Structure 1
Amino acid sequence: MAVDEDWARVNMEDGRRLDFTIMINRKRFIITVLPNPYPDDPIAPLISRYAKSFMDNDEELDKAQDEIEDIIYDAGWRKFAPLAPGVERGPSNPPISLYSALNPETFYFRLVVDDGANADIVQEYPSRPLFGPGYITLNVTGDLPRYSARDITVTRKLMGTGYIGKVSADGQDMCCKVLVPNQVKAVQREYACLKKIADSQHAYSISALRLIGFVIDGGDDEEASIGIIEEYIPHTVTLGRLLKNTNTNTEIVTPERRRKWAEQIRRNIALLHDIGVLWGDGKPENVLIHSGTDDCYLVDFGGSWTDGWVDAELRETEAGDEQALTRILYFLGVGIADIKV
């Protein structure tokens, strides 16, 4: 089956029922998984493992989820395929609104396993949607412009957790981040950081995404803010990807360019700390190189940390940002003594 977008989310109820939300080619499939009344039921132990791992927050969670997903796909792909045909790519594709992307056509199924451990999925037709939208409202106030999700056109889904996309509104390219259940804190933190930057004396000196406005639902709750709109930085790759692809070619990434980027990253972090803002997840993949100016922009103020760049005990601290800076400079091949303060 040709898959355009494919991701899964799991909701758990009472430690027994799991509802898998799977996106395939812009269609949403919700598959309910319950234990079966057979002594050799293979599903019940997996649900128990998932529930225990969820409570203990350990690595077995992903393993149990993967095993259940494998059963779902093996049992259901023949039924999923005609409902979610591959999306043809090309200039003739009709544009899709952000509202449509966030509220796709939805199909409901239930996983069943007989006493011979043979799995199948059965389509169900509830009289009303069993789940609301896959996003929630943003707790913010402000006088920034508000853009209806119906008036925003999705240009490209960007990499990252949650819903992050390059979008177009009023003829302008922008970046959109929508609140999904597992990313509430990250988007709230990013909004707070960008707002603090915008209100500071360094607003025009810090190279970070500019906060433009809010996304409103555009549906039944028309005024509910469900995400933020940020400046889109034209770029082809991140700093991390650029250096990984060209690290052996000093003609493409000269020492002068590396030194310039190192100075810009160091200066931006110092200015952020001066106004009480922490970058958080500092790493080369969160540095964009502007296609027009060749300057560095720091992105992703959602917090967290990445192993190898920031130690867990230093996450979301000034010391953590400084550690990330030291490791980014090493990645760039630039010594701290080689750059201007």
Structure 2
Amino acid sequence: MAVAEDRSRWEKNLSFCTQRVDMEDGHRLDFTIIINGKRFIITVLPAPCPADPITPLISRYDKLFLDNDEELQKAQDEIEDIIYDAGWCKFAPLAPGIERGPSTPPMSLYSALNPETFYFRLVVDGANADVIQEYPSRPLFGPDYVAINITVNLPRYSVRDITVIEKLMGTGYIAKVSVNGQDMCCKVLVPNQVKAVQREYACLKKIADSQHADSISAPRLIGFVVDDDADEGACIGILEEYIPHVMTLGRCLKNINTEIVAAERRRKWAEQVRRNIALLHGIGVVWGDGKPENVLIHSETDDCYLVDFGGSWTDGWVDAELRETEAGDEQALTRILDFLGGYLVWLANSVQSTKVKLGL
């Protein structure tokens, strides 16, 4: 009973998230799991016992790695459940629950990107599983971010001087941060999102250098994040304007019946999205992942801002074959306008007509 109470108490303020899974030679898996701000790397190997449940799960994971994301996730979830049940009592004292509140001390971006790390190995003996802590002489993995070569003359800020305010939703590491008292949005180049951040940087730079920089409602590029510990202060991320908002366009209309949101307000948003896309195309920039969730409603002006220039596409909004093309943006626009209210679809008849009016 006491053990169950201890587990329940720890889980009350638990943050548990698998950051990545590395596979080696098809038989070894390394789970990187963030628990209450601490990083745990748990190695999973086939067990010698023929009846163990881990070996067939590793085999399933290996076979599904490139073929079936849904079944792969199921195999990963099963392994995670075994790790959690076997290790929670050892993880708990190393990563106690954090009660968030006004007294919670701020965390630097350096600490967020370089959390205290513990290494364990999963051991299975028949139906019994345990985790054994290991003490490698050197880190088994490098940092979860990479550097890019950028020579543009913009301010550079050290990871140690940037304070994390809030981790934001999205793929990779995206956070609302504070730099010298100013709120900004930070995007760090994690290994699987290098191209996305590079594309975002290229798009925002092209907007900033264009004649329509003041007319396009998109985040302004502010500067770069540098790692002082790396050679010559390597750039590992970008800083851009933080758009104050309560909701995205998508959540606004999902949480509030479209009949309740005034038609004139929706018409304004529709025209703003259309105008911004036309301006982007006029300077050779493709939005890339157009959808209502990537349109922020500014909390002070009630205006639409287009965000997320990392590329890719989302089913239902842009067809895969049109990804990162002007045609894909126009398809997304048509569907966004329909989402705002079917009668507004006339606005999407031609982005080209807006370009003509604007002299693009």
1:125 matched residue in structure 2 = 135
How do 1:83-102 and structure 2 match up within 5 A? 83-102=94-113
Among residues 286, 291, 297, which one is paired with 1:283 in the alignment?
291
Among residues 262, 273, 276, which one is paired with 2:270 in the alignment?
262
Note closer, same or farther for the CA distance 1:220–1:274 as it changes in structure 2 (3 Å cut).
Answer: closer
> Are residue 3 (structure 1) and residue 14 (structure 2) matched?
yes
2:209 matched residue in structure 1 = 199
SS in 1 for 2:165: strand
> Are residue 139 (structure 1) and residue 149 (structure 2) matched?
yes
What's the CA shift for 1:162?
1.0
Q: Which of 154-163 and 241-250 deviates more? A: 241-250
Note closer, same or farther for the CA distance 1:66–1:222 as it changes in structure 2 (3 Å cut).
Answer: farther
**TM-score of the pair, normalised by structure 2:** 0.90
How far apart, in 2, do the equivalents of 1:176 and 1:57 lie?
A: 32
How far apart, in 2, do the equivalents of 1:171 and 1:327 lie?
A: 39
RMSD (CA atoms): 1.6
**Counterpart AA for 2:326:** E
2:53 matched residue in structure 1 = 42
1:215 matched residue in structure 2 = 225
**Counterpart AA for 2:78:** E
Note closer, same or farther for the CA distance 1:223–1:254 as it changes in structure 2 (3 Å cut).
Answer: same
Instruction: After the TM superposition, list the runs of 4 or more consecutive aligned residues in structure 1 that deviate by more than 6 angstroms.
Output: none
Q: Is the 8 A contact 1:216 1:222 kept in 2?
A: no
What's the CA shift for 1:336?
3.3
How far apart, in 2, do the equivalents of 1:49 and 1:188 lie?
A: 34
Q: Is the 8 A contact 2:271 2:347 kept in 1?
A: no
**How many percent identity over aligned positions?**
80
What's the CA shift for 1:291?
1.0
2:65 matched residue in structure 1 = 54
Among residues 81, 85, 93, which one is paired with 1:82 in the alignment?
93
Q: Is the 8 A contact 1:259 1:338 kept in 2?
A: no
> Are residue 228 (structure 1) and residue 205 (structure 2) matched?
no
Q: Which of 124-133 and 145-154 deviates more? A: 124-133
**TM-score of the pair, normalised by structure 1:** 0.95
1:176 matched residue in structure 2 = 186
What's the CA shift for 1:249?
5.6
2:321 matched residue in structure 1 = 313
Q: Is the 8 A contact 2:217 2:306 kept in 1?
A: yes
How do 1:322-341 and structure 2 match up within 5 A? 322-333=330-341, 334-337=343-346, 341=354
SS in 1 for 2:93: helix
1:273 matched residue in structure 2 = 281
**Counterpart AA for 2:133:** Q
What's the CA shift for 1:337?
3.0
Q: Is the 8 A contact 1:3 1:24 kept in 2?
A: yes
User: Paired residues, what number?
Assistant: 338
> Are residue 69 (structure 1) and residue 74 (structure 2) matched?
no
What's the CA shift for 1:44?
1.8
What's the CA shift for 1:273?
1.0
Q: Which of 126-135 and 286-295 deviates more? A: 126-135
What's the CA shift for 1:57?
5.8
Q: Is the 8 A contact 1:206 1:271 kept in 2?
A: yes
Q: Is the 8 A contact 1:310 1:321 kept in 2?
A: yes
SS in 2 for 1:236: strand
**Counterpart AA for 1:278:** V
Q: Is the 8 A contact 2:184 2:240 kept in 1?
A: yes
Q: Deviations over 1:321-341 (max 9, x none)?
A: 111101100110152336894
SS in 2 for 1:59: helix
